[in-house]
Structure formats: C-alpha cells, structure tokens
Amino acid sequence: MDIKNIAASGTLLAVGIGFGISSIFAMDVGSALRMGPGYFPLILSIVITVIGVAIGIKALTETETFRPQIAPLRALAAIIVAPILFGLTVRGLGFVPAVALTTLSAASAAGGQRPLVVLAITLGITVFCLGVFYYGLGLPVRLIGPWLGV
Amino acid sequence: MDLIGNLALGLSAAMTPYNILFCFVGTLLGTLVGVLPGIGPTATIAMLLPITLSLSPETSLIMLAGIYYGAQYGGSTTAILINLPGESSSAVTALDGYQMARQGRAGPALAAAALSSFFAGTIATVVVAALAPPLTSIALKFGSSEYFGLMVLGLAASIVLARGSVLKTIAMVSMGLVCGLVGTDINTGAMRFTLGRPELADGLNFVAVAVGLFGIAEILRNLETTIERTAVVSRVAGLWPSRADLKAMIGPAFRGTLLGSALGVLPGGGAILASFASYALEKKISKTPERFGNGAIEGVAGPEAANNAGAQTSFIPMLTLGVPANPVMALMIGAMIIQGIVPGPQVATTQPVLFWGLIASMWIGNLLLVILNLPLIGLWVKLLTVPYTVLFPAILAFASIGVYSVNSNTFDLYVMAGFGVFGYALSKLDFEPAPMLLGFVLGPLLEEHLRRAMTISHGDISVFVTRPISAGLLAVALIVLTIGFLPNIARRRKEVFVEED
C-alpha cells in the first residue's frame, strides 16, 4: 500500500463527501436550467470524491513507505497558536499585549533558544510593529484593552 | 495609436511622489522578504498583502506590483550569492550565477541580473501597454458562456503547468473552487457551508486563506530542519561588468525578453517556463556551451530577462480579462476585490488612471529595483546573515496584524491558522496549494457565468459549444488537458520540475 496516497485519498474523500452531503441536504440543488445554490458545489464535490476514489484504488496496489519529514510538534503548536492568540486577545488585552503574545508564541517555535533571546526578539518585534502599524499606518486599534482595566 | 497618450496618463498617475514612495516601499519590502531563502513571490505577497489594503486602490496595486518585482529579484540575489534560489524561476540563475560568485565575479553576476531584468522590464511594459487595449475590447464582447470557457481554459492550463500529478491538481482546483463558494449565494441568498457562523456569510477571507496556505505553511516547512543558516556569503567586489561582459549580455537579454514576454501570458507558470526555455536556448546557440554551468554570464542574463519579462506580461490576462494567470495574479485580483474594484475588461475604461498607472508603475518598479539593488547590495548581503529565528516571528506578527486589519475580524485569524495547518498537510501529501488559490478566486465567477449562461440558454447545455468563441476556448482547454494526461508529456513535466527542485 502507498500510505501517502491513501492519506491523500482520505483527505479528498472527507472534503468531497462532506461538501457533497451539505450540498444535497442543506441546499436546493435545482436543475441544470434553474441551478440552485447546491448545484455547482455538488458537481465539484463529485469531482473531488471521484478523484479521491481513483487515487485510493491506485494506492492500494502500489507500495511506498511514507515517512514524511514533519516540523517538531513544539514548532507546529507554537506557530498555529500564534495567530489564534492574536485573535483571542486583540480586543480584550489590546494591540501591544496581543502582538507580544503572538510573537512570543512564534519565537518559541524554534527549539534550543535561550529564554532571554526569545524575550529580546519578542520585545524588538513588538516595538517595531507598534511603530509601523500604529504610528506609521495608523491602524485603528486600542493599544491596551479593557481587560487590563484601562 | 494612443499608446503614448495612455502611457503618459499612467506615468502621470504613477509618478506622484506618494505613489513612487509606495512603489519604492513595495520593492524594498519585496526584496527584503524575497531575499529570505525559501520564500518566493507568492508567499511574500500573501504575507505583505494586508499592509497594502489601507491604501487607495491604485497605490495599493502599485505597491503590490512593486513587492512582486522585488520578491522576484530578491530570489535572484540569494541564488547568486548562496546558491539558494528564493523561488523556482531563479533556480536557473543559481546554475551559473553561483559559479560566477565562487570565481569572485559575484558583482558582475548581480549586475547582469539587475540590468537584464531592467531591460526586459522596460520592453515588457510597452508590450503590456500595447496588448492590453485590443484584448480588452475583445473581452468586452464576451458573454457568460465565453467567460466560462475562458476560465475553464485558464484552469486547465494551470493544471497542466503545475508540478505534480494532474489528478491531484484537478482535485486541488476543485477544492479551491468549492472553498470559494462558501458564504451567501448571490442568486438566492442561501447560506452555503457557513456552519452557522455569521462571520462566514461573506465567504472565507481571501487574505486569511492565502496567508495560511502559503505563508504559515511555508514557515512550518522551514522549521522542519534545525534552522541554523550558516550562510557563507561570497564577497562582492567590483560590481560593474566589463565591456566584454556587457557585450555578452546583450543578445541573451534580448532573446530572453522575447521568450519571457511570449510565455509569461500563459496561465500557470509562465515565468518559470520562460527562464528554463531561455537557459536552454542560450546553451544551444552558444559557441562554447561547455561554459554553461561553470559561470557563463549569458546563463544569468538570459533567464533573468526572461523571468522578469514573463512576470510582467502575466499581468495581461489579469488586466484585460480579470482572469488570473498564476497565484500572484490571483492575489492581485483578491486585492482589487477587497478594494471594491470588480476585475475585468471594464477596468480599463472605468478606471483608466488605476489601469495605466499600474502599467506605468511596472517600469518605475523596475527602475527602482536597479537603484535599490546595485548600490545597496552590501545591505542585502548583510540581511542574508540575519537569523531565521528572528525573521519568522516577525513575519507571523505582521501576518496576524495584517489579516486582522482587513476586516477587524478575529475570526479571520482562526481561518488563517486553520488553512496554515491544512496547507502544510496538503504539501506533505504532494498536493500543490497554488492551483487551489486560483480556484478559490475563480470559484464565484465561474459559477456565476455557468448559471447565467444556462439561464440565458433556457437550460440548453449546447450553448457552450454552439457559440464559436466559447466552443473554441473549451476545445483548447480539452486539448490542453488531454496533453497533460499523455504519458510522454507527463514524464517530460516530471523531468522539468525535478530539475527545478
């Protein structure tokens, strides 16, 4: 079995079937003459599903060992959490703490860094962003938000 | 011929100090990020796109175009100095450029790249200006079925020109198309795939999707290996090429410009094809082909001219038809839509200042690049030694602030994070994200024209084959796709793209 393409096929099937079911049951499909909102998405879902099946069938008969090189879990988590942190805190804590938290999370993605270095990077980038986006481009945000009692 | 008049109008728009400033900032930022190894023009533009959205439409497009040229050029600098092409179209430049640098001729190599790019840029600007109006007037006669045919052709070509499996690319295009449909259906007002979230009523935010798919996924890929970049940067001494160098550059730059201008219009990867084609051509017609790969200046000048000309003429389908030829153009179209401009042939008549200003700014951008790159080369060399551990947190902070600032919507940040993971997973499974982005932009347009054409024809599907232009376009699309599936071509594609990696 070609594990990589089994996974690829699985991804396509999940997307294709998911969107397909939603197109059929949550929307009006209509006809070719009066296409409903579900018509075009349904066609696309079928295309994706069929390709998923085709890739899956082919993968069953082939062999390939699949050992993907994946970023360390710590890096993955730190990078993905960074924008989410920004989203969660920019209104409540304000721009400055939100940028600092985001940068701190991102900067911790690289393993083996000394904490002091990470802090220095965070401080530098936060000051830089404050200058560029708030003072330079005039982004309409609160620097410090209501959660901090300001 | 009012080519001159149009260019004059464009120059007067592009030459305001304000626009020159942002064109300059764009090329500077583009070069800055583009110089980072592994980050090509698409990722660069995706990451910097949000910054431009607070500007007026023409200034923002001019700045984006500047970022594009800057990023393209930045890739060449790393290719020459540390043998790490920042993007696929400068992979060819690395072949001879790095050899020249090793022989102590980094200066002439960089100058050859800059000067032949500028030469190509100047000519390509005129090509774009000359071709845009006639194509626009043809496009204005297009009905829905022609538009549908055209977009199908564009997608088919991008499928064949993308690397990797044709089947997987088709799946990616379809996935992009369906993601583009998320939101309110314009015909009926029905909510589609919004999962009950009101934030999704306007669809997935384009900037968030693009930054996730390209920017975040790119950072994750770079974090796979320990990120100590021990850049042994070649010393740059004596920038100016000798008279013999200049003489050797002229022919290749000229031929590269022609090739690039012609191939750049192709959907998919015009600029990449152009740089490969130019290298092959120069090697073939050279009297001393054995010098290629060992530091031949022709091998730098030709491909650099070709990819720059191609980068520029790839604006033609976007400007005249509103159909993006590559992911970078998809980003430009996304930026236009966010700015409230409906891309298409009517832009030239309704927004002449924007249209011609953008074209004229291409030339200014190229000029600024020469000014930026030759005297400031020492600065870029320094930048190559800035550790990645400082750069990527900064990029992530910029991206987060930028995506948020588009709509002041926190939900967009979660979309960006989600598409970051998704994009990374897709790349591990050998799916290309670029066709997905193209599909994402074209999804709503393609559906709209399909539905309208079918309504006008009273449900008669033959409308697509009885109207000659749409029949022609669809036939070409079919031929292109069939060619893509032929085993012989499939093998060739593999070879070309393997060489590129």
What's the confidence (pLDDT) of residue A40?
A: 92
Say if residues B213 and B416 touch (Cβ distance below 8 Å): no
- What's the pLDDT tens digit per position in B3-18? 888 888 888 888 889 9
Q: Which band of pLDDT confidence, cut at 50, 70 and 90, is reported for residue A122? A: very high
What's the confidence (pLDDT) of residue A120?
A: 93
Say if residues B219 and A79 touch (Cβ distance below 8 Å): yes
Least reliable range by pLDDT among A71-85, B70-84, B234-248, B350-364: B234-248
CB contact (8 A) between residue B416 and residue A27: no
Quick one: how many helices (H) and strands (E) in chain B? Answer: 24, 2
What's the confidence (pLDDT) of residue A90?
A: 92
- The residue-averaged pLDDT of A16-20 equals 95
Q: Which band of pLDDT confidence, cut at 50, 70 and 90, is reported for residue A82? A: very high
What's the confidence (pLDDT) of residue B325?
A: 74
Which amino acid, B195?
A: L
Listed residue (B172, B179, B173) closest to B194, CA to CA? B179
Candidates A5, A86, A89, partner chain B, best to mutate (most B CBs within 10 A): A86
Helices (H), B53-162: 57-82, 91-102, 106-139, 144-161
Say yes or no: A131 contacts chain B, CB-CB below 8 A.
no
What's the confidence (pLDDT) of residue B93?
A: 86
Say if residues B467 and B145 touch (Cβ distance below 8 Å): yes
- The residue-averaged pLDDT of B161-169 equals 82
Beta bridge partners of B349: none
Question: Is residue A64 scored above 50 in pLDDT?
Answer: yes
Q: Min CA distance, B220 vs chain A (Å)?
A: 6
Candidates A40, A113, A123, partner chain B, best to mutate (most B CBs within 10 A): A40
Q: Which band of pLDDT confidence, cut at 50, 70 and 90, is reported for residue B236? A: low
Sequential DSSP letters for A48-110: HHHHHHHHHHHHHH--B--------HHHHHHHHHHHHHHHHHTTTT-HHHHHHHHHHHHHTTS
Say yes or no: A106 contacts chain B, CB-CB below 8 A.
yes
Going B32 to B35 to B36 to B38, the CA torsion angle's sign is: positive
Q: Which two tokens stand for residue B48?
A: 């910097």
CB contact (8 A) between residue B167 and residue A71: no
Q: Which band of pLDDT confidence, cut at 50, 70 and 90, is reported for residue B1? A: low
Reduced 3-state DSSP string for B1-38: CCHHHHHHHHHHHHCCHHHHHHHHHHHHHHHHHHCCCC
CB contact (8 A) between residue A37 and residue B177: no
What's the confidence (pLDDT) of residue B85?
A: 66
Listed residue (B44, B327, B321) closest to B172, CA to CA? B327
Least reliable range by pLDDT among B212-226, B289-303, B408-422: B212-226
Least reliable range by pLDDT among A88-97, B77-86, B263-272, B410-419: B263-272
Say yes or no: A96 contacts chain B, CB-CB below 8 A.
no
What's the confidence (pLDDT) of residue B500?
A: 43
Q: How far apart are CA A116 and CA B313, in angstroms?
A: 48
Reduced 3-state DSSP string for B265-327: CCCCCHHHHHHHHHHHHHHHHCCCHHHCCCCCCHHHHHHHHHHHHHHHHCHHHHHHHCCCCCH
Angle between helix B327-338 and B433-456 (nearest 10): 60
Residues of B in contact with A5 (CB under 8 A): 429
- The residue-averaged pLDDT of B305-324 equals 86
Question: Environment class of residue B232 by beta-carbon count within 10 Å: exposed (0-12), middle (13-18) or buried (19+)?
Answer: exposed
- Which of A39, A54, A86 shows the shortest C-beta gap to B413? A86
CB contact (8 A) between residue B168 and residue A51: yes
- Which of A4, A70, A102 shows the shortest C-beta gap to B396? A102
Least reliable range by pLDDT among A21-25, B116-120, B154-158, B246-250: B154-158
Shortest CA distance from A76: residue in chain B: B220
Query: How are beta strands B183-184 and B191-192 bridged, if at all?
Result: antiparallel
- What's the pLDDT tens digit per position in B16-51? 899 999 999 899 888 887 776 656 777 788 878 877
CB contact (8 A) between residue A107 and residue B411: no
What's the confidence (pLDDT) of residue A148?
A: 84
- What's the pLDDT tens digit per position in B438-457? 888 888 888 988 998 988 88
Average pLDDT taken over every residue of chain B: 83
Question: Is residue B499 scored above 50 in pLDDT?
Answer: no
Q: Min CA distance, A63 vs chain B (Å)?
A: 15
Phi, psi of B239 (to 5 degrees): -75, -35
CB contact (8 A) between residue B188 and residue A22: no
Q: Min CA distance, A29 vs chain B (Å)?
A: 11
Say yes or no: A29 contacts chain B, CB-CB below 8 A.
no
Say if residues B365 and B114 touch (Cβ distance below 8 Å): no
- Which of A27, A52, A86 shows the shortest C-beta gap to B400? A86
Question: Is residue B237 scored above 80 in pLDDT?
Answer: no
List, as ranges, residues 47-76 from A with C-beta within 8 Å of B: 47-48, 51-52, 54-55, 68-72, 75-76
Residues of A in contact with B417 (CB under 8 A): 80-81, 83-84
- Which of A7, A28, A83 shows the shortest C-beta gap to B429? A7
Say if residues B139 and B321 touch (Cβ distance below 8 Å): yes
Q: How far apart are CA B24 and CA B15, in angstroms?
A: 11
CB contact (8 A) between residue B430 and residue A22: no
Question: Is residue B72 scored above 90 in pLDDT?
Answer: no
* Residue that wins the pLDDT comparison between A105 and B238: A105
What's the confidence (pLDDT) of residue B233?
A: 60
What's the confidence (pLDDT) of residue A106?
A: 93
Q: Which band of pLDDT confidence, cut at 50, 70 and 90, is reported for residue B411? A: very high
Residues of A in contact with B193 (CB under 8 A): 19, 22, 41
Q: How far apart are CA B422 and CA B430, in angstroms?
A: 12
Which amino acid, B210?
A: A
Percentages helix, strand, coil for chain A, rounded to the nearest 5? 70, 5, 30
Show me where the domains of chain A are located: 3-61, 73-146
What's the confidence (pLDDT) of residue B501?
A: 40
Question: Is residue B227 scored above 50 in pLDDT?
Answer: yes
What's the confidence (pLDDT) of residue A126?
A: 95
E strands, B320-477, are: none
The answer to ipTM > 0.90 is: yes
Residues of A in contact with B178 (CB under 8 A): 15, 19, 41, 44-45, 48
Q: Which band of pLDDT confidence, cut at 50, 70 and 90, is reported for residue B234? A: low
Q: Which band of pLDDT confidence, cut at 50, 70 and 90, is reported for residue B497? A: low
Beta bridge partners of A35: A30
